[in-house]
Chain A
Amino acid sequence: MSRYLSPRDIDWTVLIIALFLCAVGALQIYSATRDTEFQSAWWKQIVYVLGGLLLMWIAAAVDYHTLLHWVPTMYAGSVLALLVTYLFGERIYGSRRWVPLGAGIHLEVSEFVKLVIILLVARYLADLKVDVLEIREVLKLAGLVAIPTVLVLKQPDLGTSVSYLAVLIAGAFLAGLRWKYVAAIAVVAVIVVPVGWQHFLTDYQKARLVSFMDPERDPQGKGYQLIQSQIAVGSGGMFGKGVTKGTQTQLRFLPVPHKDFIFSAFAEEHGFAGVVVLLALFFVLIMRIVQNAQTAPDRAGMYICMGVAALLLYHASVNVGMVVGLMPVTGIPLPFMSYGGSSIWTDFLALGLVNNVRLRRFVN
């Protein structure tokens, strides 16, 4: 099979867009972190991206059927790693998300688990080989996904844990879940959400979710980040204030402008025009991945690509929606742009999976 593998066959459109987003991200990280303790972040980010390219190739090279074969092991490993994170992880900003590996490297396990969830969903649904998904099967799969989801929710990391559910929901939808079950799940959610609100969300998570509804209610407290972000975006206007000229970003009114709020910093410095270009690129990126799903040789490949597409759509929409106040403030990174090794590597590994499927589209 390896004779079919050629770098010429990988999805260059996706890769070039991703690298362009990374470049914009690195520039924005540079602009947002000048003269701060994070001022070396931009070149670290470039190093992460280069590492990400290598990981992408590795993820593309190993046949995804082999990867699917190892899903049970990977799943068990993920749950174990999340448990370790939960018990021994390093507490930063009030949540245990990072596992110190020594030499100053902290691994955010929950990021990589996203890929395992994609593979898990793909394997489970592909193995069913049915055109209509029974609710029984959905519940079984949901049970499998629920374990890592709850572990991540307990870290606490609401945004990432919901991303697992996004992959699950997209998969179940594609696998032919009947509309009546969709309705049923909605009803269950209505019952479960208040319970989860009571038992699984911390006060801080609740406050952030509530402040999204009405940020001005507590402008100095939980609504602060959202208000500052909206000011940054709005003051950018049509063409932005220019690189390194955004007052909200440069004067630190914007929280974490190189991580979760990088799009806000970008919108301030590049304006509506830059935002439209960037969102168009994200849109094309996702649509290209969906196209790869359409040309996938089998259901597993299709589920993998759609899982990646769903994950990216979730991340892009929740993160970008957050900076303008359309979504609640949840700490999730913007793919390819937010600073952070774990998230960049996860993004490129996900692209690797897409290319993995693409490289094998003519197998039959």
Chain B
Amino acid sequence: MILPPADPNLETHLSDKPPLHDDTRFAAGKIAVFQYVTVAVFLFLISGFWRLQVQNPEFYGERAQQNSIKSVPILAPRGRILDRDGRVIVDNHSSFTLLLARESLKEEHLRPIAQGLDLDYTDLEARVRRFRSRPRYERIALKAEMTPADLAFVDSHHDFFPELVVISAQPRLYPQNGMLAHVIGYTGEISEEELDLPEFAKYEPGAVIGKFGIERQYNDWLMGVDGQQQAVVDSRGQVRQVLATKPGIAGKDLQLTIDLDLQAVAELAMDGRNGAVVALDPRNGEVLAMVSRPAFDPNKFAVRIKTKDWKEIRDNPDNPMLNRAIQAQLAPGSTFKPIVALAALETGTIDDRFTVHCSGGVSLYGHYYHCVEKHGHGTLSLHNAIVRSCDVFFYTVGNKLGIDNLSFYADLVGFGQKTGIDLPHEAEGTVPSEQWKLRTFRTKWYAGETIPVAIGQGALTVSPLQLARAYAGIAMGGKWRKPHLTKTLDQADKPVEWGFTADNWKDVIDGMYGVVNEGGGTGVRAQLPHDEVCGKTGTAQLASNDFLKGTAAGQAQNMKDNAWFVGFAPRPAPEIVVVALFEHGEHGQFAAPIVRDVLKAYFDKKDRLAALHQQEVAAGFPRPLAPGPWPQF
């Protein structure tokens, strides 16, 4: 075997170890430690991913989705509110509402946002704090009715304030100058107290709901169902992709029985006065006009009322928020007399030949009761007693009738109970009776207490609407319909009926005709030449005049008597009843012109439409008549 020559260097290679201190073997152990550390570090890292990706992917997946998928509400417009002829009373207008998306809110942004949008910082901060306990996806409505400047601010600061979200909204546009304010009411953001009511349980915080009047009564009808848009948004809140759109369902229109023409006349007639006007169609209970003064501007409430405006309304001593037409509870005064007369005739307490001599007052139960006419009316029949509103006559009749009969007939015409009109917060008034006195004061009724009740004073209180309903039923010969404000909804109700003896009824109606149309009648100011207007004045004392005479308080405006007038026409077949309450108007005769104005507007319109229709018929192109109470020719 031939071996290759030995490598001369082989020996040295093997023996010639590298210089002692430059070999790397000394570090082999340390390098191994480094390797183990590396393994440990990587296992540690893997464990981190294991925990997130394998153990909790659903949790983080959900959070990723919450991050990126946002639902933006699409606000459904409320239904419009129309008058009986289909004219728009309340509409919506397009505007933009600014929302604060709390999930991306940074607290330090609040101050610049408040500055940029002209909002009150402390108020804003308080609202954010109030929402703190609520789920984070709930947004705060920062500002409704954004101005172009607001929009520009939000748009140009999109990257800085991703929490600002602009959505389009259709807030309410109400009539100006408080017209129909109490009837229509207003909308507003649902309050925390309201959220607890069963009536509003289905609404989310931030929802705009009807708060008062028709808006509240028919909220479910008027309110649409908000839609929703689900969209993928990026970290700046910009929509990248729309996933799903659930369109909103607009609210339904609501047609009222209100006639804007009559309403406008009634509003004008009450201009500068406090009180109320109610016009009813006695045939079906439809409310044609309803005014309450002083009024408020519902536009200020449309979404969120400013604190300053609310204070102004709240602190007004005349209480503009009170709907006097259904909430005032005042003595009806002499407007109660026709009811007393009817009661006396029907019960047979008196007959149509009954007379009373009025010498300016009468002494009953040891008390001297004054008549409105100091010098006396002389000897009066029932007819003249109504025409001239003689108190002595009705003191005498009331005394004969007794409180039981009086309260029975007051009850019958609907006093002391809600009329059931489709408005919230109706007051029921008071009808005094023996039981009422026992129940309320735990004392028995004294016969002397009956005397003032007979002229609509004492504990008897009614609202203008109750009075209108009572007269409407009497005008219809004893058939009372429930007053109502809407045509859209089914208002079929069973009328309350009472058969009056025709002669008795005619005597009272004739008396009321005399009030307006005979010399010496207290309501001649309500006269209309061609329409047979019947009516009755009322001058209701706020306190005993005897006591107040001569005192400074007695002269003050707010202690002056309330003036009432109830009128209906035409006498043979009444179509309209109008009640006017003129607070502190001193005498019923001053309320009469208000009623006359409304009645005149009604008959003028009727004549105008009839004439127009005849022209159209003559021209051969009759238009179908607008829906309304107008007779179909």
Binding site for B on A (CB under 8 A): 126, 129-131, 170, 173-176, 220-221, 228, 230-238, 247-248, 250-253, 267, 271-272, 275-276, 279, 282-283, 286-287, 290, 293-294, 296, 298-299, 301-302, 306, 309-310, 313, 316-317, 320-321, 324-326, 364
Question: What are 8 inter-chain pairs, A to B, with CB distance below 8 A?
Answer: A176-B26, A220-B105, A230-B60, A247-B232, A248-B68, A301-B24, A321-B48, A324-B45
Which residue of B has the minimal Cβ distance to A300? B22
CA–CA, A364 to B51, complex, Å?
A: 50
What are the 8 closest A-B residue pairs judged by CB atoms, nearest first? A234-B60, A129-B21, A324-B48, A237-B57, A235-B64, A234-B52, A251-B234, A272-B53
Contacts of B21 in A (CB 8 A): 129-131, 299
Known contacts A129-B22, A176-B26; decide if A276 and B61 are in contact (CB<8 Å). Answer: no
B contacts with A: majority SS:
helix
Which residue of B has the minimal Cβ distance to A293? B31
CA–CA, A228 to B52, complex, Å?
A: 12
Contacts of A221 in B (CB 8 A): 106
B106 pairs with A220, CB closer than 8 A:
yes
Known contacts A276-B46, A287-B35, A302-B24; decide if A233 and B30 are in contact (CB<8 Å). Answer: no
Mask: chain B, 101-115; 1 = CB below 8 Å from A; 0 = not: 000111000000000
Chain B contact patch, size range: 35 or more
B52 pairs with A302, CB closer than 8 A:
no
Contacts of B61 in A (CB 8 A): 234-235, 237
* Segment among B36-44, B325-333, B394-402, B405-413 that sits at the interface with chain A: B36-44
Q: Mark out the residues of chain B between 11 and 39 whose CB falls within 8 Å of any chain A CB in the assembled complex.
A: 18-24, 26-28, 30-31, 33-35, 37-39
B101 CB to nearest chain A CB (Å): 12
A251 pairs with B46, CB closer than 8 A:
no
Contacts of B233 in A (CB 8 A): 251
Option from B34, B49, B57, B64 in Cβ contact (under 8 Å) with A290: B34
CA–CA, A302 to B25, complex, Å?
A: 10
A232 CB to nearest chain B CB (Å): 7
A266 CB to nearest chain B CB (Å): 11
CA–CA, A299 to B37, complex, Å?
A: 21
A294 pairs with B31, CB closer than 8 A:
yes
Option from B46, B48, B60 in Cβ contact (under 8 Å) with A235: B60
B57 pairs with A283, CB closer than 8 A:
no
B22 pairs with A126, CB closer than 8 A:
yes
Mask: chain B, 86-124; 1 = CB below 8 Å from A; 0 = not: 000000000000000000111000000000000000000
Known contacts A252-B234, A309-B34; decide if A234 and B46 are in contact (CB<8 Å). Answer: no
Contacts of A234 in B (CB 8 A): 52-53, 56-57, 59-61, 63-64
A76 CB to nearest chain B CB (Å): 26
A121 CB to nearest chain B CB (Å): 13
A238 CB to nearest chain B CB (Å): 6
Known contacts A251-B234, A313-B41; decide if A324 and B49 are in contact (CB<8 Å). Answer: yes
A326 pairs with B60, CB closer than 8 A:
no
Contacts of B235 in A (CB 8 A): 251-253
B240 part of interface (Cβ distance < 8 Å): yes
A324 pairs with B38, CB closer than 8 A:
no
* Extra contacts besides A293-B31, A317-B45 (6): CB < 8 Å: A232-B64, A251-B67, A309-B38, A320-B45, A320-B48, A324-B49
CA–CA, A252 to B381, complex, Å?
A: 93
B53 pairs with A271, CB closer than 8 A:
yes
B185 CB to nearest chain A CB (Å): 41
Q: Mark out the residues of chain B between 191 and 230 whose CB falls within 8 Å of any chain A CB in the assembled complex.
A: none
Known contacts A231-B63, A235-B60, A286-B38; decide if A272 and B49 are in contact (CB<8 Å). Answer: yes
Contacts of A326 in B (CB 8 A): 44-45, 48
CA–CA, A320 to B43, complex, Å?
A: 12
Contacts of B52 in A (CB 8 A): 230, 233-234, 324
B232 pairs with A233, CB closer than 8 A:
no
B48 CB to nearest chain A CB (Å): 4
B49 pairs with A233, CB closer than 8 A:
yes
CA–CA, A296 to B30, complex, Å?
A: 15
A176 pairs with B30, CB closer than 8 A:
yes
CA–CA, A253 to B38, complex, Å?
A: 32
B463 CB to nearest chain A CB (Å): 56
B22 pairs with A299, CB closer than 8 A:
yes
Option from A279, A286, A310 in Cβ contact (under 8 Å) with B46: A279
Contacts of A176 in B (CB 8 A): 26-27, 30
Which residue of B has the minimal Cβ distance to A235? B64
Residue among B18, B37, B57 facing the most chain A CB atoms (10 A cut-off): B57
CA–CA, A126 to B19, complex, Å?
A: 12
Known contacts A279-B46, A309-B34, A317-B41; decide if A253 and B68 are in contact (CB<8 Å). Answer: yes
Contacts of A173 in B (CB 8 A): 30, 33-34
Residue among B37, B45, B233 facing the most chain A CB atoms (10 A cut-off): B45
A351 CB to nearest chain B CB (Å): 17
A252 pairs with B236, CB closer than 8 A:
yes
Which residue of B has the minimal Cβ distance to A314? B41
CA–CA, A324 to B45, complex, Å?
A: 8
Which residue of B has the minimal Cβ distance to A325? B48
CA–CA, A320 to B45, complex, Å?
A: 7
CA–CA, A233 to B235, complex, Å?
A: 17
A305 CB to nearest chain B CB (Å): 10
Which residue of B has the minimal Cβ distance to A312? B38
B54 part of interface (Cβ distance < 8 Å): yes
B3 CB to nearest chain A CB (Å): 25
CA–CA, A46 to B429, complex, Å?
A: 89
Which residue of A has the minimal Cβ distance to B107? A220
B140 CB to nearest chain A CB (Å): 16
Contacts of A320 in B (CB 8 A): 45, 48
B23 CB to nearest chain A CB (Å): 8
CA–CA, A236 to B57, complex, Å?
A: 7
A163 CB to nearest chain B CB (Å): 15
Contacts of A235 in B (CB 8 A): 57, 60-61, 63-65
CA–CA, A129 to B68, complex, Å?
A: 60
Which residue of A has the minimal Cβ distance to B55? A234
Contacts of A287 in B (CB 8 A): 35, 38
Which residue of B has the minimal Cβ distance to A286? B38
Contacts of A325 in B (CB 8 A): 48
B50 part of interface (Cβ distance < 8 Å): yes
CA–CA, A326 to B53, complex, Å?
A: 14
Option from B38, B45, B57, B64 in Cβ contact (under 8 Å) with A248: B64
A290 pairs with B45, CB closer than 8 A:
no
B31 pairs with A174, CB closer than 8 A:
yes
CA–CA, A234 to B67, complex, Å?
A: 13
Contacts of A272 in B (CB 8 A): 49-50, 53-54
Contacts of A170 in B (CB 8 A): 34
Which residue of A has the minimal Cβ distance to B54? A272
A356 CB to nearest chain B CB (Å): 16
CA–CA, A265 to B496, complex, Å?
A: 77
A298 pairs with B56, CB closer than 8 A:
no
Which residue of A has the minimal Cβ distance to B42? A283
Contacts of A130 in B (CB 8 A): 21
Contacts of A275 in B (CB 8 A): 46, 49, 53
Option from A220, A237, A247, A301 in Cβ contact (under 8 Å) with B67: A247
CA–CA, A301 to B104, complex, Å?
A: 53
Residue among B31, B48, B49, B233 facing the most chain A CB atoms (10 A cut-off): B49
A231 pairs with B60, CB closer than 8 A:
yes
A177 CB to nearest chain B CB (Å): 9
Residue among B33, B61, B105 facing the most chain A CB atoms (10 A cut-off): B61
Contacts of B18 in A (CB 8 A): 298, 364
A17 CB to nearest chain B CB (Å): 14
Residue among B19, B68, B240 facing the most chain A CB atoms (10 A cut-off): B68
Contacts of A236 in B (CB 8 A): 53, 57
CA–CA, A232 to B28, complex, Å?
A: 41
B45 pairs with A251, CB closer than 8 A:
no
CA–CA, A146 to B235, complex, Å?
A: 40
Mask: chain B, 579-623; 1 = CB below 8 Å from A; 0 = not: 000000000000000000000000000000000000000000000
B460 CB to nearest chain A CB (Å): 65
A238 pairs with B53, CB closer than 8 A:
yes
